[in-house]
Amino acid sequence: MHPPLLCPTCRSHLPTDRKCASCGHRVSLRDGVYEFTHDTYATSFGEQWNAFARTQLDSANGTTISEDRFAAVTGWAPKDLSGKSVLDVGCGAGRFTEVAVRWGAHVTALDLSSAVYAASRNVAGADCARFVHADALAMPFAPRSFDFAFSIGVAQHTPDPLAFVRAVGDAVKPGGRVALWIYERRLTAMLHPKYLLRPLTSRMSAAWNRGFSERLVDLFFPLAERLVRLPEPVRRTAMRALPIAVYLGKLDLQPEAQRQWSLLDTLDWYSPRYDQPQRYEDVARVLRECGAVRIDRRSPGGVTVHGSY
């Protein structure tokens, strides 16, 4: 079962007709999405995920890329989620929502941007999925409402990443579990080409960013196709120097899908207003303050943690 929604005005439980009996506030339901807010700093993500709504869906590309990543980040398995209430914070177009639903969870997928409408379309017809357009720092649920909560690749794109971590951690019941993946703050990561360009691109309009990313991919993707033939570690170093996201040799995708994925993630590099990597120690500290009694660091490549309550 899904935890009940709360009125954004008085925090009373909303009945099924979405009109608060205490204060009269009515929450809209549009295209399968409960509307509690409007896009703010996350507008670029809404445009991005509506433009590339199905690129990363396993059901669309015929792979298990998203399922494998979900399992690697969270450490969870279908037997863990079956029948459980699960919160996906920053769901985007729903690539991981789809996985959790397939594993038998009752998923509430939340996003601050209009990407949540793409997620609702992508997971249409799933009775155990609910979609909420809301801010993670003002979630319309009581604290400690969910058995599981996860957020993958979102916290660093918020104004206050640790406040975001706290909000996700506070959503989990005693005995529940949380999983997060966040860009890691370390010197080698901050020397990445995208951080040299972001002072310019983060101020561009969405249309300019889309065009800029497309031109970069047009220019550098053919080079990446040649570099992928180089031996390691030369290939890894050369690929890292490119100003585009490239997964050649890493993801089992058809050529056009490889290019689409590259364009999507290149746009994801340059268009967000915020990009604030975090340290594992800080994320772990906040989760402990939320009541997590066991915190594990699962893998490199980002702050990848999961906690048990």
CB atoms under 10 Å from CB of 157, counted, come to: 24
CB 176 within 8 A of CB 84: no
CB 217 within 8 A of CB 244: yes
| Calpha distance 146→142 (Å, rounded) | 9
- What's the per-residue H, E or C state across 183-222? CECCHHHHCCHHHHHHHHHCCCCHHHHHHHHHHHHHHHHH
Q: Where are the alpha helices (DSSP H) in 103-205?
A: 115-122, 161-170, 187-190, 193-201
Q: Which of 289, 235, 257, 205 is CA-nearest to residue 60? A: 257
Predicted local confidence at residue 301, as pLDDT: 63
Domains and CATH numbers, the chain: 29-185+276-308 (3.40.50.150), 187-270 (no CATH)
Predicted local confidence at residue 299, as pLDDT: 64
Q: Which of 92-106, 117-131, 176-190 has the lowest mean pLDDT?
A: 176-190
Ramachandran category for residue 280: left, alpha or beta (phi over 0 → left; psi -120 to 50 → alpha): alpha
**Mean of the pLDDT values across residues 264-281?**
95
Q: State what percent of residues in the chain have pLDDT above 90.
A: 82
Q: Which pair of tokens denotes residue 161?
A: 């990443």
**Angle value at C-alpha 79, between 75 and 83, nearest 5 degrees:** 115
Predicted local confidence at residue 303, as pLDDT: 77
255 CB-contact burial (10 Å; exposed 0-12 / middle 13-18 / buried 19+): exposed
SS3 266: helix
pLDDT in tens, 208-225: 999 999 999 999 999 999
pLDDT in tens, 57-84: 999 999 999 999 999 999 999 999 999 9
Residues 6+ apart with CB under 8 A from 42: 111, 112, 113, 157, 273
What is the identity of the amino acid at 304?
T
**Mean of the pLDDT values across residues 275-282?**
93
**Mean of the pLDDT values across residues 182-194?**
85
pLDDT band at 300 (very low <50, low <70, confident <90, very high): low
Q: Which residues of 21-43 are buried (b: 16+ CB within 10 A; e: fewer)?
A: eeeeeebeeeebbbbbbebeebb
